[in-house]
Amino acid sequence: MSLLSDPNEPASQPGGGLVRIRLDVAYDGTSLSGWAAQPGRRTVQGLLEEALGRVLRLAEPPALTVAGRTDAGVHARGQVAHVDLPPDRWDDGRTLVRRLAGVLPGEVRVLAASAAPAGFDARFSALSRRYAYRLCDDPAGPDPLRRFGTTWHRRPLAVEPMARACAALEGEHDFAAFCRRREGASTVRGLLRYAWRRDESGLLVADIEADAFCHHMVRALVGAAVAVGEGRRPVDWPAAVLAAGVRDSGVTVMPPQGLTLEEVRYPPDADLTSRARVTRNRRA
């Protein structure tokens, strides 16, 4: 399946009588090479497409479209994808979820499967993606049972200045200073929320939500906050980096293992097509 090439068209619709299925997916990315299928590598997309082709007895694995590609080592609790299937291969979501659980490796799970409403596109219909980044600054290291979703930072961090520094980055800006640049791609994003807190176990948790993220943006934003939390940079430094608009060698792209995609938000069903059109025009 391919996405429509005309950005003025509404969200792509399944052709040939196919039915569009929404999949809600979770995975532990520790041993995976990210979302996107790559020859010779274990990826979330590759494992899911292979499993779908197998349990549905398709001649070729179906193609998935995802809300947001994640890098190697990044996890997800609330990833969303869609797949277009022949109607005779779609029965009900619980049956498909159960069958997929029997063939997928333990680090990948389809949590729910449902017939998507008209106009739904997992990528272009999304309003926002919400990530969490978890840091342990305890000198003893993280809880062994939570270590795969947490980055251990060996220096103590002050959460209050981190929170103040990052709140100043919220809003629509050009985040080129925090992105790995791609030729011809816009780096303007709407950062809806960037907050830091300590949870009940003592972990530092960043809650980061935006309409979309460019490559390395979340981990670079976390790296800027860490520099403030260590006391190496003043509270207004991340905002100054943003305003400069160029990559700063002082911004560390943090390791992937602390990052989890928690949620993808969508508008009401009646607004799915119009939302997809707006997103396509913006990304064109």
CATH entry 3.30.70.580 includes domain 19-125: yes
- Please check whether residue 124 is in contact with residue 273, taking contact to mean a CB–CB distance below 8 angstroms: no
If you average pLDDT over every residue of the chain, what do you get? Answer: 93
Query: Model's pTM, two decimal places?
Result: 0.92
Compute the distance between CA of residue 146 and CA of residue 142 in angstroms, rounded to an integer.
7
pLDDT at 146: 87
Which positions are annotated as active-site residues? 71
Taking residues 89-103, what's their average pLDDT? 96
> Which of these, 265, 269, 278, 214, lies nearest to 24 by C-alpha position?
265
| Structure-block tokens of residue 98 | 């159960």
Confidence (pLDDT) at 264: 99
218: Cβ contacts below 8 Å, ≥ 6 apart: 131, 133, 208, 259
CATH 3.30.70.660 domain position(s) in the chain: 128-262
**Does domain 128-262 sit in CATH 3.30.70.660?**
yes
Among the ranges given (56-65, 226-235, 275-284), the one the predictor scored with the smallest mean pLDDT:
275-284
**What pLDDT is recorded for position 222?**
99
The model's pLDDT over 5-26, given as tens digits with 9 standing for 90+, comes to 333 344 467 777 899 999 999 9
The ranges of the chain annotated as CATH 3.30.70.580 are: 19-125
- Interstrand relation of 151-152 and 259-265 (parallel, antiparallel or unpaired): unpaired
Per-residue model confidence as pLDDT tens digits over 174-210: 999 999 888 778 899 999 999 999 999 999 999 999 9
